Chains A and B, each alone.
Chain A
Amino acid sequence: MEVFLQSLLSGVLVGGNYALVGIGLTLIFGVMRVINFAHGDLLMVGMYLTFYAFSLLGIDPFLSIALTMPVMFVFGAFLQRVFINRVLDALPQNQILLTIGLGLIMSNSVMLFFTSDYKILSTSYSSGSVRLAGLSVSEPLFVSFVITAAITAALYWFLIKTNTGQAIRATAQDREAAQLMGVNVRRMGVLAFGLGAALAGAAGALISPTYYIFPQVGGAFTLKAFVVVVLGGMGSVVGATLGGVIIGTVESLAASYVSSGLKELFVYVLFLLVLLLKPSGLLGKSRL
């Protein structure tokens, strides 16, 4: 029972991070109907920013999100303006290939400049743990979950309460109608991509104390982010939050009860099952 609760708890904590990555992906998809295959690579860029902010400037990884998020926002907005904007009306396949290409450029440029060596960001609290209701939790994981929850809450507030947030949601619901109501949908695209990149960057910053940092780390996260988003329902922010927690839990339970090498296998099988049985996801409208 304790093993079960322990894996459940760490699954939820890791899942918070997956949710953050997934929310970014789902925002981008919602507003532009573009599936961003470079999403994990944006997370990887966030990890490297955090690593160098820590090793060169001595900025704590959790504080560095104040730096990573704006930088990644600008980077994401730039990518949208220069590349994604041009293929908004192209075939979905071409959009996917474009983002795959952008991802290849990001991961391989990082590899050229910083080599493919694994980097480890170790802080004073990297291996620390906190007790929580009789269960032991890794300290960096716990702190990152708290920050993730705060960012998610702030994002919900932004999307629901502010005018810009409402405009983003309107664009996601119906692009033409939003345009007729005077929403600048092109600008919403730039904003959504910037926000998505900033969230991916924040997720990268938050996991950097507990994860290896290397140029190809993004691929696994891209795929996991899709699973999260499809599970929750493409375009649904609440769905992505839920999906992240579910995927984190499944992974963690599979790792404790089956084998840690096979935990991702369970995630992908679950993904295929969702695609086949309920392609609209838990909270999404059917878009097939």
Chain B
Amino acid sequence: MRASSPRGLALVPLLALCAIAAVLVALPLTIDNPYALHVMILLFLTVVQGESWNVLGGYTGQYSVGHAAYFGLGAYVTLILLQSRQVPPWWGVWAAILLAVVVAIVIGSITFRLRGPYFVLASIAVAEIFRLVALNWGSMTSGAEGILVSDIPPLQVAGRTVTDFTSKVPFYYAGFALAVTTIVVNWGVKNSKLGYYFQAIREDQDAAHSLGIALPVYKNIALGISAFFTAWSGAFYGLYVGFIDPGTVLSVEVSVQFVLICIIGGIGTIAGPVLGALLLVPLSEALRANLLSDLLFKLGVVDEGTPTGIFLKDNLAHAHALIYGILVVLVILFMPDGVLGFARKLLARRRGQAPAAAPSAAKDSA
């Protein structure tokens, strides 16, 4: 009874969440190191990616490895509208999201007839079709050259300029708001009737069907919600980084990244993608900034002057995809419920066979 009832949050975790949110809101006021803000923005973006995939992959059990399609669509539509039609992005993003949701439902109506590995393969093929179209439709997308954002117009409310997007701070708050919205929607979905339908489909779609759940309708609703936030995160990414091309927003690697965040954290949980982002983003940033090789040198594991040391220093910065691969393999082999599920299992074991803990842990990780 103490920790949480299934519907509603208990007071202590709620207060803790509010405290974390307050700290995050206040952070840019106290820290003006752009790199720290950059890492935080990436963290928000990754949380949004993970949570939006989670709605479809985690709750509904439809493993899409083609989310790059919606991510890329969000990024491309917003940036094309901005660059060639001068549509301010806070309007353009809605057009992008609307289009992505419509496209998602069309694709869903076609591919949700497929199950298991066939659905996975179809989702990859769809994303590849999008990539090839973006690559070859040069007049619209400028093909392999990509789109460079030259200038985001200043955001004005009632004639007063709110921000001109010259610093990272507006992106920080936009990313934070997006992450919070996604998490709240995820929580709402998970604990609503809709979420129970989704989870019933995940556990056994034939049983769910025989209980009167219209499979195509609910799978499409899950995909629609997922595509909504995925496209939003794509638009956010495009505007923040200021450059997109088919390789960075539409490739299979992008789709895999969506799945990875959830797999590593823990699929089908709210905290899982957050945890996944908290592990992946600092890791890849540490690799990129050569912190890891510096650490190895400092600890005396490898000497900086030796050929191995030079090799590590030169190459570890580009090794984040390799580390991702190793992480996935380790997680699948040793913690199939993600880091979160693994931690819960450890906790349950430590508590011994406490009567309340064991069944709830088993239920959550299922």
Interface residues of A (CB under 8 A from B): 35, 83, 86-87, 90-94, 96-98, 100-105, 107-109, 111-112, 219, 223, 226-227, 230, 259, 261-262, 264-265, 268-269, 271-272, 275-276, 279, 288
Contacts and interface: CB of A to CB of B under 8 A. Distances in A.
Given A105-B322, A108-B325, A86 B333 contact: yes
20 contacts: A92-B117, A93-B120, A96-B63, A96-B65, A97-B263, A97-B328, A98-B328, A100-B65, A100-B328, A101-B329, A101-B332, A104-B324, A105-B325, A108-B325, A111-B318, A112-B322, A223-B125, A226-B121, A276-B113, A288-B115
Contact of A219 (B129, B252, B259, B318): B252
Given A87-B333, A265-B132, A269-B129, A109 B322 contact: yes
A83 B128 contact: no
B310 interface: no
Contacts of A259: 136
B329 A223 contact: no
Interface in B110-148: 110-111, 113-118, 120-122, 124-126, 128-129, 132-133, 135-136
Which one of A100, A223, A226, A227 has the highest number of Cβ atoms from chain B below 10 Å of its Cβ?
Answer: A100
A275 B121 contact: yes
A158 B132 CA distance: 39
A94 B263 CA distance: 9
B106 interface: no
Given A100-B328, A264-B128, A268-B125, A275 B333 contact: no
A108 B253 CA distance: 12
Contacts of B116: 92-93
A104 B110 contact: no
A102 B315 contact: no
Contact of B126 (A226, A230, A272, A279): A272
B3 interface: no
Contact of B329 (A91, A105, A268): A105
Nearest to A215: B321
Contacts of A272: 110-111, 122, 125-126, 129
Contacts of A261: 132, 135-136
A223 B124 contact: yes
A98 to B, nearest CB: 5
Contacts of A227: 125
Contacts of A100: 65, 256, 328
A261 B133 CA distance: 9
A29 B302 CA distance: 42
Nearest to B133: A265
Given A264-B132, A275-B118, A279-B118, A98 B333 contact: yes
Contacts of B336: 90-91, 94
Interface string B93-121: 00000000000000000110111111011
Interface of B: 63, 65, 110-111, 113-118, 120-122, 124-126, 128-129, 132-133, 135-136, 252, 256, 259, 263, 315, 318-319, 321-322, 324-329, 332-333, 336
Contacts of A262: 132, 136
B110 A271 contact: no
Given A92-B116, A108-B321, 13 more contacts: A83-B333, A96-B117, A100-B256, A101-B328, A102-B325, A104-B324, A105-B326, A109-B322, A112-B318, A226-B121, A272-B111, A275-B122, A288-B118
A27 to B, nearest CB: 16
A272 B110 CA distance: 9
Nearest to A91: B336
B297 to A, nearest CB: 18
B315 A98 contact: no
A118 B351 CA distance: 55
Contacts of A264: 128, 132
A279 B328 contact: no
Which one of A93, A96, A98, A107 has the highest number of Cβ atoms from chain B below 10 Å of its Cβ?
Answer: A93
Contacts of A107: 321
A264 B328 CA distance: 29
A219 B124 CA distance: 11
Contacts of B63: 93, 96
A262 B143 CA distance: 12
Nearest to B323: A108
